[in-house]
Amino acid sequence: MICHNCGQDSAYIDETSETYGEGDKLVVIEHIPVINCRNCSEEFFTAETTHALDELIDYLQLNPAARVYEQPVRVASFQGNPAATQVYNHPVTADSGGR
């Protein structure tokens, strides 16, 4: 596959996870198809994937009961100094794509 960034035939499809929102609206979406390039390390979503993610995020934020499962996740608050960084557990709703 040709990379749109460097033009080399070194791009491939992989999967990733992304977080969206914050606080009680934070959601993790897993198994998102992403295009990666072995040559330039560019990582990007297709327009189709971006559109589908936008629709899914809107739906999940408007319909919290539709979320698949909840699990705690460690969240760090960046303070610029590792000794001052605060880490706490935060419940996160994850969409496992029905898995």
In a domain, residue 21? The reply is yes
In a domain, residue 5? The reply is no
Q: CA-CA distance, 44 to 37, in Å (whole number)?
A: 9
Highest mean predicted confidence (pLDDT) among 5-9, 18-22, 59-63, 89-93? 5-9
Full domain range(s) for residue 24: 11-95
Q: CA-CA distance, 53 to 47, in Å (whole number)?
A: 10
Report residue 31's pLDDT band, with 50, 70 and 90 as the boundaries.
very high
The string of pLDDT tens digits covering residues 49-84 is 999 999 998 888 788 777 777 777 777 777 676 666
Check residue 26 and give its pLDDT: 79
In a domain, residue 29? The reply is yes
Q: Which residue has the higher pLDDT, 63 or 33?
A: 33
Distinct helix (H) and strand (E) counts, the chain: 1, 5
Q: CA-CA distance, 92 to 24, in Å (whole number)?
A: 8
Check residue 86 and give its pLDDT: 60
| Mean pLDDT for the chain overall | 81
Check residue 48 and give its pLDDT: 96
Q: Structurally, how many domains does the chain consist of?
A: 1
52: tokens are 């589908």
